[in-house]
Structure 1
Amino acid sequence: MGVASAIFLVIVTIFCPPIAVFAISGCGADLFINICLTLLGYIPGHVHAFYLEYVYYDRRERLRRGGIITDRAPGVYSNNIQNGGNPHGYGTIVQPNAS
């Protein structure tokens, strides 16, 4: 996901925050919280969605630069967001060579 997808995600967040949260976190606690906040008021849903997007892209950038993320972002329950979209978690383990 590059700059274009980040801009598209921001535009989607402006119109419907739960769809943007679903795009980065999947179906889970963060989506449920965002739906509830959006139903309580349009602004709290936006604040929550933009916070999740900030954490997601910040962690992606830190991983891209080679940093290791050891702390958990408060209020974020999705592992996808906590890991910056990295499916292997906080790092990968190099498999030993069989030869």
Structure 2
Amino acid sequence: MGAASAILVVLITLFFPPLGVWAVAGCGADLLINICLTILGYIPGHLHAFYIEYVYYDRREQAREGRFAAERAPGIYSDRVQTGGLGYGNTA
């Protein structure tokens, strides 16, 4: 199920980057930044969205392996993305 959801998020991001960011990071500063970048130009919105998705899925994989990143990823404000979706007491 994890690979199918990742592919679906990538496909959604190809057509409308803020929707992909919302699916991964939720409603917050990352979504607002991505909306502004998408309005300024379609390519910057894509770059930001794919960066957020990469960090999210990379951190999620690290958490499943029992490794947790010691430092926060630069330019990402969502705790959900920083922890790979394993925040608030959830475990792998």
Deviations 1:31-67 (A, max 9, x none): 0000000000000000000000000000000000010
Aligned to 2:3: 3
Question: How many residue pairs were aligned?
Answer: 91
TM-score relative to the length of structure 2: 0.93
3-state SS of 2:38 partner: helix
Equivalences for 1:48-67 in 2 at 5 Å? 48-67=48-67
Aligned-partner Cα distance in 1 for 2:25–2:68: 20
User: Superposition RMSD on alpha carbons, in Å?
Assistant: 1.5
Structure 1 segments (4+ residues) deviating >3 Å: none
TM-score (norm 1): 0.87
Identity percentage of aligned residues: 64
Looking at secondary structure, tell me which structure has more helix per residue. 2
- Structure 2 residue runs of 5 or longer lacking an equivalent are none
Given that residues 21 and 34 in structure 2 are in contact (C-alpha distance below 8 angstroms), is that contact kept between their aligned partners in structure 1? yes
Between Structure 1 and Structure 2, whose CA radius of gyration is higher?
1
Q: Which runs of 5+ in 1 are unaligned?
A: 93-99
In structure 2, what residue type is equivalent to 1:70?
A
Q: Which amino acid letter does the alignment assign opposite residue 77 of structure 2?
A: Y
